[in-house]
Structure 1
């Protein structure tokens, strides 16, 4: 029986990889028993062989078994327009994302979310945190898409009452919808409910307070963007007289359920508030490079014990390039000036991309680590590649040298989802054809305003100059 057949064969798998990324580092001669969608046992191989003589150990030489990474902040229904944002200045949500998402038909929202889920799995993410769509049909479409793709999803429901033409009437309707959303997915195996207000100033004080309280009571996360750009901070000051994080604190919406996307422009007081209130942050280093004007001082948050995960913000779903960007941006923005040649020592970014990220997004007891009782969300990485020869420090090498092309298998909830980059139980090529058919029409209908030309047009203009 070949390896693919073995990995797909039974309800129980006894895996014997050469290396395992454990919470305290990379171990050898460790075996993992997967049963019922969870890690049933993690122990020395000889011990597990003795405990389970009825199971044949699947030998995985020159393979690393590691937790699937957590994308702590993304937008699944933006995948059809991802390259439209290239070269654009900040606040692109006003000119591109809001008009695009609002124009998506249900089918387009579905294929966008499924395409993003596929990209995420191919990149090594087994969990994505969707910050809430602006598509009226988005929630149902995203739910169907993530289930079919087989990825774990923290699914945000947007509750922007001040963005409604009749905010007074919108409040009650949105709160009722929020309560149904939390109840509907309370015991779902893959979809974990969340509530969101896109940016604090589009939620009334009572809305911010209520959704944060609902999330705290239910053990879910309340998502919002905060301090993403300088203009976002100034807009909040003009609209509400407070900076975004100050506004959340003022409303009682800054607590241990709060997950702030970006938080790049933190004042010392805001950093203290995050620590004291137990709020978490999604650090989005690629977004800072592509469309921001600041970088989160994530190492400072790490030292202060503020939970944070690593997010793509929908830029590109490549977990290993995200690890590299997380470390590189800290080095460029802070480490060089401080003379900090370590900038987290490599392991810090692995930690916040996996177990620390799971904690930040409210799934700390569910996923993010190779530990008994947690969901079996994991990757099999091929170590037999030129880039990792010779290997002296695999932790650092995973951050700087590893690549998604090394991903042999991706498992979510103990089930093989991808083999060598492609789904094992659904047709990704057919989805791609569907994307091509739908994207042109839906994007053409959207009143998108781009500031910069395409790359080829930019080249032509440069030549004329």
Structure 2
């Protein structure tokens, strides 16, 4: 039986955790444990070796438990949580009708609360790292970074550097440069928060800005984020404005490099795939976004096979790492595998790896997180295996992809610190946050000039032909 956990039992400077299973880089193993200390995995070895090496250290035996790396969300929109269920069933490019109007109405207080809610959802879903693509809300990022710091989640925070297609009051090129350099200087070297520069879509920036952002990110080692080739409208807009598709245009400018992170990349030509491979640029594969509002599914299995660096992203859809894994494999099977008789589409392990160590590599964090290994930061989950869904167990990796769910997440640790226990924070009031957001979000959404093209589900049901005849 899985033991009941308490926050107090993990309150030690050093401690040995002995779960039934440990998920190592090459797969799950039994009979291993970890030594935690100073926020890191100090040792990872067979249990007998650990006990011999480290006598006198507090020991926690965790039968029927898996210790696994935390999930890494390589593409999120942490300030959009107030409107997450407004976009169900909406056509593509909802950013124009929902997200830009909503974010334009967010005060610093709203930004703090929306970000904190997103971080709580992510932690509950097993994510220990989130990469935010930047907010279009005005003001500074202090509310966003403050909320992320208060929840303790590891994060990448993007600063939007759009300088084209905006209003007359948009900041100048020089002002954007100043803000970007200050953002990198302020957060560079921070243990839990990593700076990034972002351009919403390539069409939202001048060629000069695209090249400058790509170059400064390459020089400083931070990520340059942008959405590319997600929707037909965006691809066609780029062709009309630049006579090139988005990825082609970035390649033409020399704006693709190992610090470039491209979100979505669903509508890609063979030539664009070659550009990604040859440049070292990374892709955030967002399969739930494809299911909910995309025009296509990124050929992520093909990209990974060709050596393109791939991470998984939620796009802010829902903070659930296990459902993201399930969608990552299923989307490849529906879009590509069925037609050629590929019944595994990565054999499960590929998507688990892309959600953990692959995501860390994509974000430039591979030296510090993404796997259970000595010297790495202790970002991990304790997962309850004593559940019907995981019994009997024959192939744990596949089971994590297709059967596991976030209700099994017993505890979430970031940099060795317990952040969540049984779904709730241990050092701040998550339920109070939920109550406050429920009271706040309605007024914000009512004020925002949001345009929905479809009514809420009950209105659609009432308007449907013969809606009242089915019982």
Q: TM-score, normalising length from structure 1? A: 0.98
Q: Does 2:81 align with 1:79?
A: yes
Greater shift, 133-142 or 16-25, is seen at 133-142
| Structure 2: runs of 5 or more not aligned | none
- Residues of 2 paired with 1:283 and 1:274: CA distance? 14
State how 1:423-462 maps to structure 2 within 5 Å. 423-462=425-464
- 1:327 corresponds in structure 2 to 329
- Mind listing any 5+ residue stretches in structure 1 that lack a counterpart? none
- Partner in structure 2 of residue 386 of structure 1: 388
Secondary structure, in 3 states, of the residue corresponding to 1:66? Answer: strand
Equivalent residues of 2:7, 2:418 under 8 A apart: no
2:70 maps to which residue?
A: 68
1:79-98, aligned counterparts within 5 Å? Answer: 79-98=81-100
Please point out which of 210, 221, 224 is paired with 1:222. 224
User: Which residue, out of 14, 18, 21, partners 1:19?
Assistant: 21
Aligned to 1:207: 209
1:33-182 equivalences in 2 (<5 Å): 33-137=35-139, 139-165=141-167, 170-182=172-184
Q: 1:344 to 1:138 in 2, by over 3 A?
A: farther
Deviations 1:319-353 (A, max 9, x none): 00000000000000000001001110010010000
Following superposition, the deviation at residue 102 of structure 1 comes to 1.0
> Matched residues in 2 for 1:318 and 1:137: separation?
30
Residues 388-439 of structure 1 show CA distances to partners (whole Å, capped at 9, x for unaligned) of 1110111100000001000000000100000010000000111112101211
Q: SS at 1:187's partner residue? A: coil
RMSD: 1.4
Q: Give the aligned length.
A: 465
Runs of 4+ in 1 over 6 A off after TM superposition: none
- Equivalent in the alignment of 1:280: 282
Instruction: Tell me the equivalent position of 2:372.
Output: 370
Distance in 2, Cα, partners of 1:107 & 1:236? 36
Give the drift of 1:374: 1.1
| Contact 1:68–1:368 (Cα < 8 Å) also in 2 | yes
Contact in 2 for aligned 1:221/1:361 (Cα 8 Å):
yes
CA distance in 2, matches of 1:407, 1:372: 23
1:355 equivalent to 2:367? Answer no
CA distance in structure 2 between the aligned counterparts of 1:161 and 1:362, rounded to whole angstroms: 26
Match of 1:395 in 2: 397
Q: Return closer, same or farther for 1:168/1:143 CA change in 2, 3 Å cut-off.
A: closer
SS at match of 1:293: coil
Q: Work out whether residues 229 and 268 of structure 2, in 8 Å CA contact, stay in contact via their aligned partners in 1.
A: yes
Deviation at 1:45, TM superposition (A): 1.1
Range with bigger deviation, 192-201 or 38-47? 38-47
> Alignment partner for residue 32 of structure 2, among 25, 30, 33?
30
**CA–CA distance in structure 1, aligned partners of residues 165 and 369 of structure 2:** 35
Deviations 1:141-183 (A, max 9, x none): 1101111111011000000011444599611100110000001
C-alpha distance in 2, partners of 1:5/1:397?
28
Q: Which moved more, 1:455-464 or 1:86-95?
A: 455-464
Secondary structure (helix, strand or coil) at the match of 1:134 reads coil
- Check the 8 A contact 2:14/2:58 in 1, yes or no: no
The reply to whether residue 340 of structure 1 matches residue 346 of structure 2 is: no
Is the CA contact 1:75–1:130 (under 8 Å) kept in the aligned structure 2?
yes
| Structure 2 CA distance for aligned equivalents of residues 407 and 2 of structure 1 | 12
- Give the secondary structure class of the aligned counterpart of 1:162: coil
* C-alpha distance in structure 1 between counterparts of 2:370 and 2:205, whole Å: 31
TM-score normalised per structure 2: 0.97
* Distance across 1 between alignment mates of 2:140 and 2:311: 25
- Give, in whole Å, the separation in 2 of the partners of 1:7 and 1:263: 45
Query: Post-superposition shift, 1:5?
Result: 4.1
Q: Give the Cα–Cα distance (whole angstroms) in 2 for the partners of residues 286 and 5 of structure 1.
A: 33
